[in-house]
Structure 1
Amino acid sequence: MIVSIHQPNFLPWLGFFEKVDRSDLFILLDDVQFEKNDWQNRNRIKGPSGAQWLTVPVRHRYPQIIAETQIDPSSDWRRKHWNAIVSNYRKAGYFDNYAPQLEPIYRQEWERLADFNVDLLKQTLGWLGIATPLRRASEFNVNRTSSERLAVLCEATGADMYLAGAGGHGYLDITPFETRNIRVEFQEYTHPVYPQLFGAFVSHLSILDLLMNCGERSLFILRGAHQPENPV
């Protein structure tokens, strides 16, 4: 059983969803520290001038885990996000496929960032046709830190392989996995090039950009970037 684990980021990039697609279970790491100015509350779409940020404002305090991070309702961020999406993608080939389902999510009032992000993730997985189940780490009440926490979560769900992100090379201690007979593999992902609006291709945007431009071909394009296995 392949398990992967990651923070519940906001409308993530393609590599996030490729990792979900390759997993039998995906655990959303919502019980760790919220990181300001990270991907948990912001991502990029593409407009006439290039990459453009969409940021969800939050009430930030330290320390604060992701599951407890509240959205700041004082700004009209939902309207601004939706207007930016419409303005930049209304002429994209598949805008009408997704806008009717995306708009109600933006019309809803959200209190917690994690709830908003998870709802968007579930909707996006449905669009892509990825059936991997999601669970939140906070359900398991694991009182460990760093790599040990990840290994315990894998053990609790019956994993025999942990699929780590490429960034894990720099911090992941595989010893807690080895002691539990859990193999570790690092994702190696080469970003695909696909048709976009507004000139030269820009990589590492939100999954929204791929969906709006490529529609039902999005999962095929996303999977086509999968590289050979790199087991540890």
Structure 2
Amino acid sequence: MRDPPAQPLPRLTTLAKLLAADYWIVLDDVQFTRRDYQHRARLAGIGAPLQRQWLSIPTHLPGGRWTAIRNAQIVDPMRSRRRTMQMLRQYFGSSPHWPALDQALAPVLDLFTTTDKTADVTEASTHILLDLLGWKGQVLRSSQLAARPGRTQRLADLAAVTGARSYLCGTGGMTYLETSLFTSCGITITPFRTPTTGGWDSGRAFSALRALMILGPTALADALRAVAANQDESRTVA
């Protein structure tokens, strides 16, 4: 199980963890954080990896800094839609895999005209990548599930709701999680490590779109599943 907030067009490392899990619990009721990946993605060119640019969804916080992610609002949705499409075509339109992505993006772009919520667009953008890679898991939202307060306790309770046997945790989370709160629920914390060479050297910095447009959905899905298979054998999830 994994439970990060939704990210627009997530990074390769995030996508790898989601593809390895059976459940993705979207943290939609935690505090929105500006200048984070909750409303922006960093793009890198296909043939020019040093060509880099942030693709951001300008976001208004109606409740100030304490606004929950699910309540954050898009500023000027139509302008954000145009800019999103223009930048994605600029960076990836030359790829032979662009037509498949272009078609998959259509419902995400339509959301800019039907919702003012940043989270709706970011979650949908992750969905389409998972769909292209053949993910068969289930998506839940933390706002709809019961969990006790406390950073680790909350994550442990959310994992327990799904009946998970394992919680996939990145290297950053391993530094603060109280493992005993998971083990008391019968859940193993499985460190999720991705390679650091090849196309993975920038996997934590850039959107997975670059790898998708270079390799194509089938080859990228195979590569990500190979990474998942190399994790600790206890990574089995419910």
What's the TM-score bracket when you normalise by the shorter of the two chains? 0.7 to 0.9
Residue number in structure 1 paired with 2:140 = 135
Once the two structures are superposed, what CA deviation does each residue of 1:199-219 show, in whole Å capped at 9, x if it has no partner?
A: xx8543212212222212111
| Aligned mates of 1:98, 1:75 — CA distance in 2 | 20
| Aligned mates of 1:80, 1:26 — CA distance in 2 | 28
Aligned residues: 224
Distance 1:74 1:112, change over 3 A: closer
Aligned amino acid, residue 117 of structure 1: T
Matches of residues 47-196 of structure 1 in structure 2 within 5 Å? 47=45, 48=48, 50-60=51-61, 61-73=64-76, 76-108=79-111, 109=113, 110-191=115-196, 193-194=198-199
Contact 1:187–1:230 (Cα < 8 Å) also in 2: no
Q: Secondary structure at the match of 1:52?
A: strand
| Aligned mates of 2:87, 2:161 — CA distance in 1 | 41
| Aligned mates of 2:78, 2:109 — CA distance in 1 | 14
| Aligned mates of 1:111, 1:85 — CA distance in 2 | 21
Aligned amino acid, residue 71 of structure 2: E
Is the helix fraction higher in 1 or 2? 2
Shift of 1:37: 0.3
| Aligned mates of 2:11, 2:77 — CA distance in 1 | 27
Runs of 4+ more than 6 Å apart:
none
Percent identity between matched residues is 26
Aligned match of 2:220 in 218, 221, 225?
218
Distance 1:202 1:6, change over 3 A: closer
Once the two structures are superposed, what CA deviation does each residue of 1:98-138 show, in whole Å capped at 9, x if it has no partner?
A: 11221442244231111111111221111011111111111
Contact 1:82–1:103 (Cα < 8 Å) also in 2: no
Contact 1:5–1:164 (Cα < 8 Å) also in 2: no
Residue number in structure 2 paired with 1:207 = 208
Say which is worse superposed, 66-75 or 33-42, in terms of deviation: 66-75
Shift of 1:9: 1.4
Shift of 1:176: 1.2
| Aligned mates of 1:160, 1:105 — CA distance in 2 | 33
Aligned amino acid, residue 105 of structure 1: V
Distance 1:180 1:230, change over 3 A: same
Structure 1 residues without counterparts, runs of 5 or longer: 195-200
Distance 1:154 1:104, change over 3 A: closer
| Aligned mates of 1:202, 1:160 — CA distance in 2 | 30
Distance 1:119 1:75, change over 3 A: closer
Q: TM-score, normalised by structure 2?
A: 0.85
Distance 1:220 1:191, change over 3 A: farther
Shift of 1:82: 0.8
Contact 1:161–1:184 (Cα < 8 Å) also in 2: yes
Contact 1:31–1:65 (Cα < 8 Å) also in 2: yes
